[in-house]
Amino acid sequence: MKFEESMELPVIVVDSGVLLPGASLKIPIRSKLNTRTIEQHLTARGGSNYVVIAYKLSTDKIYNVATIAYIEKLFGWTLNSTTNYSLDVIGLHRANIDKLSLPKCRVSKIEDSSERAEFNHSTIENVISGAKILAQNSESLKFSQEIHNSIDDHDYGKLADLCVSQIKNLEFSQFLDFLGTKNVEKRLEMCEKWMQMQRETKALQLKMAVPGNSEISKKINKRRIPNSKNQVEQLEEKLSVIEFSEEVSDRVFSELHRLKNMNPQQSEYTVLMNWLELVSNLPWNTSTVDDIEINKARKILEDSHESMDDVKQRVLEHLAVCKINNSVKGMILCFTGPPGIGKTSIAKAIAESMGRKFQRVSLGGIRDESDIRGHRRTYVAAMPGRIIEALKHCKSNNPVFLLDEVDKLYSGNQGSPSAALLELLDPEQNSTFHDHYLNIPFDVSKIMFIATANDVERLEPALKDRLEIIEMSGYSMKEKVKICENHLVNRQLSKHCISPDYVNLDRHAIMAMIEEYTMEAGVRQLERNVGAVCRHVALRLAEALNSDPSADVLPDMDLPIQIGEPDIHKILKAKHMKRVKIVEKMRPLPPGVCFGLSVTTNGGRVMPIEASKCKGTGKIVTTGHLGKVLEESILVAKGWLGANAEKLGLKTLEENDIHVHLPAGAVNKDGPSAGTGLACALVSLAMGVPLRSDAAVTGEISLTGHVLAIGGVKEKVLAAQREGLRRVVLPKSNEEEYLKIDEDIRNEMDVVLADTVEDVIEAMMEKEPVLAKL
């Protein structure tokens, strides 16, 4: 290609490695800007074979001299759905950057500005002598041929460029100074000087191999190419003060020695430098001193969390064992429950009570094992896994480590992230945890691991076996009011920069928000509603200030602003936040309709069950996105009813087709706990008598009429309370779980414990049924 005085070419911006004319360079493409340049101008049809290599000095500054290069090879590959590129380029000419308009720039070729007669013959002889040695030692036949051609053609500018490209220990800024030097004679002098220093440095290194040459070791530092303190020296200083194990020390300092003898222009130089920087930044010997005081820990937990007495007790027991053993090895705590109930915040409280740093790692949605263990260094743009990366930022080797949303891990083509956690969470193995990128053992046994999950059934068995599951249930109305008054209101007022003296949110307003504008086990939506109230107050204050925030007096406004229940309806109704209560929607209940109870990852919920009949042959039709277990429960309920119809004095349903439907058809529904509800709905349908509209039921049934135990008792009772139901029928075998529910809720709710299906139907009937005689 014939280069004009001024031309426009695609530009690749780099911040390390300088391409000199005549030399070759491998450039890994890491930035999105460079990737876009390649895809738009180099890989597209008719793309350019030439590119400008520009050099970044700082975030917003580019060096004014660039290199025009020929693209010898362009590599592209896909890793984790991301396309990566690498360029092999050969330097052609120096060029001034006339106009930079990324992803292109306009450049003008720089001509050498020195006559051959002006050259210092001694300098030329020294450079030629050094160049011949380089050619002799080079493994590249092409490089050796270029050296000899430059000597034969008396092209001393190119010869200097080729020689400097092979010099080690030059800083990025020194390479740029050389690139920007137009005068060939000055470039020859710089080349001579640096080659002489490199020869002296190598000679001293050879003498250092002789024992007792400590003075020579001091001299070698003085003989290094003068500039700011070498980055490798800084790295060596950091590594020398770290107490590694013998195995790790041998590996680290072996790699450091290899880095010292490596040309900074090589692509592996940067990879090895990044690896050693990671090693030097990890907290190998840095720990925080545990300060476990049980009374202090109890106070922190009480101040930060309402209720949850069982959970607090278990946490205190765990801390007591840690204090006695002076170790956190053992079971890994896993808090499980609906969203917004304080699983993450209680982990923070544990870290505070122990005096340790807190580090959270979100695992939700991870499909690639490399996210946990890191990528091997052989890959371009490889990086450590989340565990090692978090330790690097934490700067402590014994933090409280929260593995958040551990049930949201997914297995894919890139391996199983859950399996990658097994070594991490095994006390017998995690003293030598191996990250693929780090590739040397790191001790994570001092870390206190805590996991959180919404649904532990989704955990892989091997991972679940390593965890001690602590179930956290939802909050009652009373608990939510207390949490709102003691925590949420103050937090939102502070967030919106409103003084607590300026607003008064009364208890009836809080109760209205909970009952009519939230439907959750936790308090996350409630906090958002409190935030909406705070924004309303902020608007009123701003209007009263008349756009003058510096005013000390609020004219025409009585403070504090009173927010009552009518104000809540005005504020939140305007935002369309009011929820629909399914119970109120379905009242009065016709025959064949029953309120069941279920548990989801969001807490308990009331689940209406509807059954209807028409003349037919006894066929059963089910709708509502039901699972296999739930469909089998329908067959069990119908089988029990058919076997006991004569005993109950009911007409059989064999001459009717039955349609069973559970509303909210877009939601998957499954599980055995709807058995009692289905039996009640079918009995009500057969008798033509409606069930109680203020009662809900849950429990598995057997074909012989026994009511069997179920899970999620507290969540289900709280769901019935939230929907305004006052009677709940539970299995007799769940009495122990029922007695753990707060006394206030037990006093408010009419809970019936049933042992047989007949007991359940009697408790659910609106009127006194014939069954009372049986």
Unique residue bearing structure tokens 């005013």: 551
H helical segments located in 673-756: 675-687, 713-722, 735-739, 743-748
* Sequence ranges of the binding site: 337-344
Instruction: Kindly name the residue from 480, 638, 669, 716 that is annotated as catalytic.
Output: 716
Written as six digits, the tokens of 234 are: 């800084």
H helical segments located in 616-698: 628-648, 675-687
Q: Pick the closest to residue 524 from 499, 487, 498 (CA basis).
A: 487
673 annotated active-site: yes
Q: Is residue 556 within 8 Å of 639, Cβ to Cβ? A: no
Q: Cα 421 vs. chain centroid, distance in angstroms?
A: 15
Q: Is residue 502 within 8 Å of 561, Cβ to Cβ? A: yes
Please count the CA atoms within 13 angstroms of the CA of 315 that sit on its side-chain side: 34
* Sequence ranges of the binding site for ATP: 337-344
Q: How far apart are CA 66 and CA 98, in angstroms?
A: 10
DSSP helix/strand/coil, 99: strand
Q: How many Å is the Cα radius of gyration of the chain? A: 37
Phi-psi region of 355 (alpha: psi -120 to 50; beta: other; left: phi over 0): left
Instruction: Kindly name the residue from 280, 353, 673, 684 that is annotated as catalytic.
Output: 673
Q: Pick the closest to residue 282 from 244, 308, 237, 228 (CA basis).
A: 244
Q: Is residue 496 within 8 Å of 535, Cβ to Cβ? A: yes
Q: Is residue 595 within 8 Å of 703, Cβ to Cβ? A: no
Instruction: State how far the alpha carbon of 546 is from the alpha carbons of 148, 495, 539, 549, 553, in Å.
Output: 82, 22, 11, 8, 11
Q: Is residue 642 within 8 Å of 620, Cβ to Cβ? A: no
The three state secondary structure string of 53-65 is: EEEEEECCEECCE
DSSP helix/strand/coil, 372: helix
Catalytic residue annotation: 673, 716
